[in-house]
């Protein structure tokens, strides 16, 4: 027997008036957030990807200030809406949904002095070995500084996990095993 997990809203929500710009109607938060978890997660991703493609044409917005919103999942696996972080400071909505810490601050706390895991190192090795096996690729470099090619770009640098050149095109590979944010 297969059972569906039903998403749940948080007990207290600051943003309770959400407008769907496609229909022009307000959404019923209880109905929207109490559905099959897979559907809620799909809509969460769609909301983020639409904003990433075109911030001037959001799907769902705060009905009070018309700022785009994101769908947030808490540590307790419950959902609520929040103003998009890029928009909140500019909109000056009467309802502030800004968290205490930014994504950058959370990452600093989370990864401060963190070492690469054995799995991360293993995956970097797989990428390196795969590039070595491709005769069209240059010798792969692991954890080497990559500077811009033009003189104006020389001050900028990156340090990708693995890099190589293929048919004159520079390629960089980064292994990502940890969580990240839907918004950028």
Both 22 and 94 in a single domain?
yes
Both 24 and 72 in a single domain?
yes
In a domain, 12, yes or no: no
Range of the domain at 167: 118-173
Mean pLDDT in residue range 120-146: 89
Count of domains in the chain?
Answer: 2
**pTM for this model (two decimals):** 0.54
Output phi, psi for 155, to 5 deg.
-75, -20
**Using CB atoms within 10 A of its CB, is residue 164 exposed (0-12), middle (13-18) or buried (19+)?**
buried
In a domain, 182, yes or no: no
In a domain, 146, yes or no: yes
Q: Could you report the per-residue pLDDT of 65-76, keeping only the tens digit for each?
A: 888 999 999 888
In a domain, 79, yes or no: yes
Both 31 and 76 in a single domain?
yes
pLDDT band at 1 (very low <50, low <70, confident <90, very high): very low
């Amino acid at each position: 027997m297969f059972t569906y997990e039903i998403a749940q809203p948080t007990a207290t929500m600051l943003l309770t008036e959400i407008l769907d710009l496609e229909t022009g109607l307000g959404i019923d938060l209880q109905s929207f957030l109490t559905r099959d978890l897979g559907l809620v997660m799909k809509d969460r991703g769609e909301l983020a990807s639409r904003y990433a493609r075109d911030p001037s044409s959001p799907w769902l917005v705060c009905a009070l200030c018309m700022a785009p919103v994101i769908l947030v999942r808490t540590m307790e696996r419950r959902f609520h809406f929040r103003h998009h972080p890029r928009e909140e400071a500019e909109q000056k909505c009467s309802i502030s949904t800004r968290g205490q810490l930014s994504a950058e601050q959370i990452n600093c706390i989370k990864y401060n002095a963190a070492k690469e895991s054995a799995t991360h190192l293993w995956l970097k090795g797989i990428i390196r070995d795969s590039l070595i096996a491709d005769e069209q690729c240059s010798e792969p470099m692991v954890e080497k500084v990559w500077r811009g090619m033009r003189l104006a770009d020389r001050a900028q640098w990156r340090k990708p996990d693995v890099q190589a050149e293929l048919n004159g095109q520079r390629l960089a590979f980064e292994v990502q095993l940890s969580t990240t944010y839907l918004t950028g």
